[in-house]
Amino acid sequence: MDTFLFVEKTPMPTPLPVQVVDAFADQAFSGNPAAVCYLTHPAPAQWMQQVAAEMNLSETAFLLREGDEFRLRWFTPLAEVKLCGHATLASAHVLWSEGHLPEEQPARFKTLSGPLVAEKRGEQIQLDFPRRPIAPLDHPPLAELAAALQVRPSAVWETDEDWVVLLENERFVQELQPDFARVSQLAARGLIVTAMGGSTGFDFVSRFFVPKLGINEDPVTGSAHCSLAPFWADRLGKQHFRAWQASRRGGVLEVQLMGDRVLLLGRALTTLRGQLLV
């Protein structure tokens, strides 16, 4: 992560607009809330991290216009991340709803994960994200995982940062009560826990635990589905999925695997508008 110090003679202009948006949500107070701050000029990374800690949501997004595109960065309360789905969806929603971009024009972002695009699809927003690599984990620590999740995994795979843990059925995923202290001691950044759908009517269900980043459980995680899409494509023999992230708030995602890209479709709504004064 970049590190910067404040320079008193070049302060951030105030106030700055900030919105809280529920992403992958069909109604208020569901899905995953993200704070979105629209910047007028580049900001120090240290300041952005402090704002994210103050917001204390799973992600705070910072937007800066660069020509016809927008620089986009995402911060948890503890660290900057390379890819975030729900805060990208929230950012696109803010650009259109606050008049920064015409609704018929795609939102194009420059990010640590390369170029990303968001487009309006009726009442929903479609994100074009990179497929994330996934492979079986050699010598998975099954005893440690069982102690952390309090259920024994069926299989364990790894992405570039996280582990994907397959459980026997969706009920096990829904009823998980992890030991977050033990989860934070594992070698992976976080755990994407998943199972095939059944009674819920979804193709698969999942939950995401990442206490190392200050988020015991992320309510709805778009980036996790960039690995879950190829994972379930191999098992279900299909490329299009309807997925449920079974957190307390819950969220529905339409997911489509297209070669080296993953399309994510969801809704967003603003629940708060305010100003950042410092």
Q: In this structure, are 140 and 248 located in the same domain?
A: yes
Task: Work out the end-to-end distance of the chain between its first and last CA atoms, rounded to an integer number of angstroms.
Answer: 22
User: Are residues 119 and 147 located together in one domain of the fold?
Assistant: no
Select which of 59, 80, 119, 158 is catalytic: 59
Q: How many domains does the chain have?
A: 2
Let me know if residue 22 belongs to a domain: yes
Tell me, yes or no, whether 249 and 272 share the same domain.
no
pLDDT of residue 9: 38
**Are residues 83 and 161 part of one domain?**
no
In a domain, 5, yes or no: no
Say if residue 82 is exposed, middle or buried (CB neighbours under 10 Å; 0-12, 13-18, 19+): middle
Mean pLDDT of the chain: 94
Give the span between the Cα atoms of 142 and 153, in whole angstroms: 7
pLDDT digits (tens, 9 = 90+) for 147-201: 999 999 999 999 999 999 999 999 999 999 999 999 999 999 999 999 999 888 9
Q: CA 121 → CA 36, 86, 193, distances in Å? A: 21, 16, 29
Does residue 68 form part of some domain? yes
Rg of the chain's alpha carbons, rounded to an integer? 18
pLDDT at 13: 59
In a domain, 251, yes or no: yes
* Per-residue pLDDT tens over the stretch 244-253: 999 999 999 9
User: What pTM did the predictor assign?
Assistant: 0.93
184 shares its domain with 168: yes
Which pLDDT belongs to residue 160? 94
In a domain, 56, yes or no: yes
The helix (run of H) or strand (run of E) holding residue 54 is: helix 45-55
Query: What CATH code is carried by the domain that includes residue 94?
Result: 3.10.310.10
**In this structure, are 84 and 142 located in the same domain?**
no
The verdict on 25 and 94 lying in the same domain is yes
Owning domain of residue 198: 135-258
The ranges of the chain with pLDDT < 50 are 1-10
Active site residue 59: yes
pLDDT attached to residue 216: 97
Regarding whether 178 and 78 lie in a shared domain, the answer is: no
| Domain presence at residue 10 | no
Query: Does 122 share its domain with 194?
Result: no
Task: Tell me: do 87 and 181 sit in the same domain.
Answer: no
User: Do 142 and 182 belong to one domain?
Assistant: yes
Q: Considering the domain boundaries, does residue 4 fall inside one? A: no
Residues 101 and 121 in one domain: yes
Is residue 235 assigned to a domain?
yes
